[in-house]
Amino acid sequence: MPTTLEVKTARLVTALPGPNAKRILEQDAKFMSPSYTRDYPLVAKRGHGAIVEDVDGNAFLDFAAGIAVCSTGHCHPKVVSAIQKQAAELIHMSGTDFYYESMPQLAERLGRTMPGAEAKKVFFTNSGTEAIEGAIKLARYATRRDKMIAFYGCFHGRSMGALSLTASKSTQRKGFGALLSGIEHIPYPYAYRCAHGHTAETCGAEILEHLEGQIFKRLFDPEDVAGIIIEPIQGEGGYVPAPKFFLQELQRICRQHGIMFIVDEVQSGMGRTGKWWASEHSGIEPDILCSAKGIASGMPLGAIIARESVMRWKPGAHGTTFGGNPVCLAAALATMDLIEGEYKENAHRMGDYLFGRLADWTKNFKIVGDVRGRGLMIGIEIVRDQRTKEKAADLRNLIVELAFHKGLLVLGAGENTIRLSPPLLIDQEQADFAARTLEDCFREAGKKI
């Protein structure tokens, strides 16, 4: 039997879940918070590249990458070695109180990737949520205003500030009472479901009119607005890209009123779309950019990257004990080398290949309503009827589960979309396996209509 290191796609050796997995699932049900949302019973043991092996020796092709985190694959030898070397030298120091070289080193490299000629400054966090939380504070601090605008369908995290921006699923807010005040949500330009029948290039003009004509006139004077925050490709909302003109217009509106243009690239960044940031595809230059997930290949790290003239808060205004921990930074530096050297280009190439492979899906499968995204950030929207676009959440869930039983790990996004967010190193054989497996799942799920 090949070892996990030799498996290229999937190798299933037990029924799922296997006996070891079942034992762990029972323990988990006893001891773990019931708030986690597991779609299927994968109990992971080890990973290598795009392959994850479970506790019973089953190998899966991973097109979820720990929610778009393992950008360089599982346990890339260069990332592992950087972590090991750093762990043997210095594990923790706290960048809030002391200095270490990797902080400015990584900050300089990240700053250079962010669009815009102005120099950048960076604050490191432990997660995406914390990056967003810090961005809210930074926008308020820099403008001395307190209102914010976000979008329906967006996900920015679950701490009380970030959750106040999040408008993804009401379960994420239910039971938690009042959140931050002064936040208004407006529709996201969702071309497939555009209320005004626009295309993927033109959807959203009415939303901008609503912002300027209604929100700014009736609710918030723009001079009270600290920031507008947007995911250039909505992640949890269903892998929905915003049109280029929309992002550019949003930036124009922000500049006109001195509002911070904040871009959440926690999921869409770090090479996933074939460029460092999805923002680059639209030629926008945000004031504040939030990153996390793929930044350190699975080590907990986030970053707020901002124009130098924006990140001018005084010592003590913001800090963290763990954020920017030396081991995470070492992993991030190795991750950047790999993404820059090879994987950003591979994400572009394999994204093009997959989109070519998926181009006929809406013709070939009645339950596939839309295929969209960029690079290796691909959303497949599942519908009951292509004409009415009725959302088929049950079929989407079935497909995700069927794929697991065929050795392919994928996750849902939004109410009825399947997201493909593999490690950026996948090759053609793996892309083909994923596409073939999903096609089998569509055929099986299609019979349930």
Ligand X SMILES: Cc1ncc(COP(=O)(O)O)c(C=O)c1O
Q: Is residue 365 a contact point for ligand X (CB under 6 A)? A: no
Q: Which of 278, 266, 231, 267 is nearest to 250 (CA)?
A: 231
What sign does the CA torsion over 260, 265, 268, 269 have? positive
Q: Is residue 264 a contact point for ligand X (CB under 6 A)? A: yes
Strands (E), 389-429: 390-391, 408-409, 411-413, 417-420
* Cβ count within 10 A of residue 27: 9
State the Cα–Cα distance between residues 401 and 410, nearest whole angstrom.
9
> For residues 99-138, which are near ligand X according to CB under 6 A?
127-129, 132
- Which of 10-18, 169-177, 262-270, 422-430 is the region at the interface with ligand X (rule: CB under 6 A)? 262-270
For residue 83, give Cα distances in angstroms to 79, 210, 249: 6, 49, 42
> For residues 48-77, which are near ligand X according to CB under 6 A?
67
Q: How far is the CB of 315 from ligand X (least distance, A)?
A: 26
Q: Is residue 236 a contact point for ligand X (CB under 6 A)? A: yes
Report the residue number whose CB is nearest to ligand X.
128
Cβ 369 vs Cβ 381: under 8 Å: yes
Q: Is residue 237 a contact point for ligand X (CB under 6 A)? A: no
Cβ 273 vs Cβ 267: under 8 Å: no
State the Cα–Cα distance between residues 3 and 379, nearest whole angstrom.
32
Nearer Cβ to ligand X (135/392): 135
Judged by CB under 6 A, the residue of 48, 74, 140, 156 near ligand X is: 156
Q: Which of 234, 155, 190 is nearest to 369 (CA)?
A: 190
Work out whether strand 377-385 and strand 368-374 pair parallel, antiparallel, or are unpaired: antiparallel
Q: How far is the CB of 411 from ligand X (least distance, A)?
A: 10
Q: How far is the CB of 65 from ligand X (least distance, A)?
A: 12
Q: Which two tokens stand for residue 155?
A: 């996900």
Nearer Cβ to ligand X (27/35): 35
> For residues 277-316, which are near ligand X according to CB under 6 A?
292
Q: Is residue 325 a contact point for ligand X (CB under 6 A)? A: no
Judged by CB under 6 A, the residue of 66, 235, 238, 286 near ligand X is: 235
Q: How many residues bind ligand X (CB under 6 A)?
A: 15
Nearer Cβ to ligand X (267/335): 267
Q: Is residue 267 a contact point for ligand X (CB under 6 A)? A: yes
Q: Which two tokens stand for residue 419?
A: 């997201």
- Which of 261-269, 318-326, 350-358, 396-404 is the region at the interface with ligand X (rule: CB under 6 A)? 261-269
Burial 420-431 (b: 16+ CB within 10 A, else e): bbbbbbbeeebb
Nearer Cβ to ligand X (27/37): 37
Q: How far is the CB of 233 from ligand X (least distance, A)?
A: 9
Q: Which residues make up the interface to ligand X (CB under 6 A)? A: 67, 127-129, 132, 155-157, 231, 235-236, 264, 266-267, 292
